[in-house]
Amino acid sequence: MTTAAELLAGIPELAGVEPVTRVTIPARLEYTYSPGSAQTRFLTALPDKRLLAERCPRCTRVYVPPRGACPTCGIAATEQLELPHTGTVTTFCIVNIAAKGLDVEVPYCYAYVLLDGANVGLHARIGDTPYADVRIGQRVEAVWNEQRLGPSLASISHFRPTGEPDADPESYRRWM
């Protein structure tokens, strides 16, 4: 296998210089994101520590964050409701590589939390517990970020275990 140094050795003006072996090329996409009216309602309720959801009038699935329509039935979601701050872990992973620009220490635990009454998982970090103890079916509750309450999911710092017994798998099996 030829190396850059070997190729450079044949060129008098470049022989012996330190060869380049890597380049970092950032790919960057800049958007102006608008969450739409349904998610705007959800986001603007977060500073009041309220979790707003929508129910599909046909299949009765409850979506959080709400999107204004049911993706299964393709019809507008008309009913709005508020969900409690408790839920069940339906899947999780331990993140060991820090993402650029994220002010969270690695390793951290990232999970889907199925809020009680919801039929889709909310992405959230799990904290205040050893990660070896995090498990599917674990009962958790939201910890609010008192310093950063605003129209953003950053209003929820993370979820922590409630200490209740694990949820019955039948209660979340269909929504994993």
Residues found near other proteins in the complex (CB under 8 A):
1-4, 6-8, 10-11, 13-14, 17-37, 39-41, 43-44, 100-101, 151
82 binds, among other proteins, Zn ion, none (CB under 5 to 8 A by kind): none
φ, ψ of residue 46 in degrees (nearest 5): -65, -40
CB of 38 to other proteins, least distance (A): 10
* From candidates 9, 14, 49, 72, binder to Zn ion by CB under 5 A: 72
Nearer to other proteins, 72 or 152 (CB): 152
Nearer to other proteins, 10 or 130 (CB): 10
Closest CA to 126 of 166, 87, 165: 87
Closest CA to 158 of 85, 100, 57, 96: 85
Nearer to other proteins, 23 or 132 (CB): 23
Using CA atoms, how far apart are residues 58 and 76, in angstroms rounded to an integer? 10
Sign of CA dihedral 144, 158, 175, 73: positive
Nearer to other proteins, 11 or 132 (CB): 11
31 binds, among other proteins, Zn ion, none (CB under 5 to 8 A by kind): other proteins
Neighbours of 98 (CB within 10 A): 13
Q: How many Cα neighbours within 13 Å face the side chain of 41?
A: 14
Give the containing element (helix H, strand E) for 41. helix 36-45
CB of 70 to other proteins, least distance (A): 19
x/- letters, 24..63, toward Zn ion (CB under 5 A): --------------------------------x-xx----
CB-based contact 65:54 (threshold 8 Å): no
Contacting residues toward Zn ion, per CB under 5 A: 56, 58-59, 70, 72-73
